[in-house]
Structure 1
Amino acid sequence: MGQTVTRTDFEWTYTEEPHASRRKIILEKYPQIKKLFGPDPYFKYVSGAMVFTQILMLFVMKDQSWPTIILTAYCFGGIINHSLMLAVHEISHNLAFGHGRPMTNRMFGFFCNLPIGLPMSISFKKYHLEHHRYQGDDVVDTDIPTLLEAKLFNSTAGKFFWVFLQPLFYIFRPLIVNPKPPTKLELVNTVIQLIFDAIVVYFFGWKVLAYLCIGSLLAMGLHPVAGHFISEHYMFAKGFETYSYYGPLNWITFNVGYHNEHHDFPYVCGRLLPEVKKIAPEFYDTMPQHTSWTRVIYDFIMDPDVGPYARVKRNQVGLKTN
């Protein structure tokens, strides 16, 4: 379990991120993909149903034991909360109500955020859009592990604990790598979330709030649905920095597994991303892809050639000056 991985540095490149150029090529060949752009009319109903399911679970979990709370949080509540995090991901691209109604999207993000227990909707948008625009950037893209993370967890045992602690890295890494002052909407998000959490504690108790928060954290770590954090951009094949997953867990994660398609066309809602692949299969079928997020986690931990260093990094400053 203490075996050190063979990679000792990130994969550095001075090329631009690949998705903008591929988007242009695909649209020249298949301009009909533009018809897929825009919000998903069904999204608000699916997301709302998940929020209300978790609200009903507050009554179910009120008098349960700690083992039952933790097990239910891992096997059920955490999965719903993870799906709601990916609903927030859709909302960050204005795919709930469209670009013409930005504030409606933000307000719906507050609503989807409620069962997650921790305010993240606005903060996620602030950093995620930079991840798209500056994928792999040494400073701006906070999706990439820090050098300290890579050095400390560069072994089989280290990678196991890194995966388990992954939610903490996702929460605190942006504050260290690329800190930004809080916006008014972030403060609003925080106040709304704290009021909801206080209501949960007042009427249902601390254990029920723990059910929500523990589920969110567990489902971001050593959990099958969290496999997408690793599958999306960790380099399992040299030279490829984004990977798609075409397995069944896409059904409960707004097709986030179609990740090459998403980065190529971020204005296509998750429900329609399979249509992008169907229209332009020659661009996606030939790229390395994943079929199991559980297998991704296992390979990440056990394969000595894969680890926190297995990410493509680029120097955007160098690109801008050339």
Structure 2
Amino acid sequence: MTNNSEQKRDYTLVEGPNCHFTRRREILAKHPEIRELYGHYWPSAIYISLIVLAQLVISYFLRDQAWWVILIAAYCVGAFANHSLYVMIHECTHNVVLRTPLGNKIMGLVCDIPLVLPSAMGFRKYHMIHHKHLGRIFL
């Protein structure tokens, strides 16, 4: 275990206000129309369902293919789909897909269906801790 002086060397410390809050204020001052984008966006739940369904259907049709065909599909389609699902897990974590936290948790779990390593609930827990403690170094 490291002591506090050793931990401090692992970070670049910046004095002054938190840049996240300052930048947000600056952007909203220049572009107040961004506020119209705030809120829930339920069509994301449809996108999640379609991406998961597409991955399951593609995997079914590739089940008897040569390994190199599966590899090409994984590279060309799977990587894009998985990245999209991880982005949606982030949105579900912030409760902006559906109106209720439970609905967002369920959609996060739906995102996990085709992923090799399910991560929605773990990400949710630690990402919210990250936001709660922005700017605090020893957490």
TM range (shorter): 0.7 to 0.9
CA 1:54–1:27 in structure 2 vs 1: closer, same or farther (change >3 Å)? same
How far is the alpha carbon of 1:34 from its aligned partner?
3.1
Do the aligned partners of 1:88 and 1:109 also contact (CA within 8 Å) in 2? Answer: yes
CA 1:132–1:16 in structure 2 vs 1: closer, same or farther (change >3 Å)? farther
1:125-169 C-alpha deviation (Å, 9 max, x unpaired): 1122233344465443xxxxxxxxxxxxxxxxxxxxxxxxxxxxx
CA 1:117–1:27 in structure 2 vs 1: closer, same or farther (change >3 Å)? same
What residue number does 1:131 align with? 130
Q: Is residue 67 of structure 2 the alignment partner of residue 56 of structure 1?
A: no
Higher helix share: 2
CA 1:28–1:74 in structure 2 vs 1: closer, same or farther (change >3 Å)? closer
CA distance in 2, matches of 1:77, 1:22: 34
What residue number does 1:213 align with? none
**Percent identity for Structure 1 against Structure 2:** 33
What residue number does 2:110 align with? 111
What residue number does 1:273 align with? none
What residue number does 1:86 align with? 87
CA distance in 2, matches of 1:9, 1:95: 33
Which residue identity is paired with 2:106?
A: M
CA distance in 2, matches of 1:80, 1:137: 34
Which residue identity is paired with 1:116?
A: L
CA 1:130–1:16 in structure 2 vs 1: closer, same or farther (change >3 Å)? farther
Do the aligned partners of 1:87 and 1:112 also contact (CA within 8 Å) in 2? Answer: yes
How far is the alpha carbon of 1:46 from its aligned partner?
1.4
Alignment of 1:151-300 (within 5 A): none
Q: CA RMSD in A?
A: 2.5
Do the aligned partners of 1:85 and 1:116 also contact (CA within 8 Å) in 2? Answer: no
How far is the alpha carbon of 1:120 from its aligned partner?
0.4
CA distance in 2, matches of 1:133, 1:25: 21
Q: What stretches of structure 2 of length at least 5 have no aligned partner?
A: 1-8
1:63-111 C-alpha deviation (Å, 9 max, x unpaired): 122222223212211210111111111111111113xx11011011111
How far is the alpha carbon of 1:16 from its aligned partner?
3.7
Please list every run of at least 4 consecutive aligned residues from structure 1 whose deviation after the TM superposition is greater than 4 angstroms: 25-32
Do the aligned partners of 1:96 and 1:105 also contact (CA within 8 Å) in 2? Answer: yes
Do the aligned partners of 1:113 and 1:121 also contact (CA within 8 Å) in 2? Answer: yes
Which residue identity is paired with 1:104?
A: G
Which residue identity is paired with 2:35?
A: K
How far is the alpha carbon of 1:32 from its aligned partner?
4.8
Which residue identity is paired with 1:19?
A: H
CA 1:82–1:29 in structure 2 vs 1: closer, same or farther (change >3 Å)? closer
**TM-score, with length taken from structure 1:** 0.36
Q: Which range moves more in the overlay, 12-21 or 113-122? A: 12-21
CA distance in 1, matches of 2:125, 2:53: 27
What residue number does 1:38 align with? 39
**TM-score, with length taken from structure 2:** 0.78
Q: What stretches of structure 1 of length at least 5 have no aligned partner?
A: 1-7, 141-322
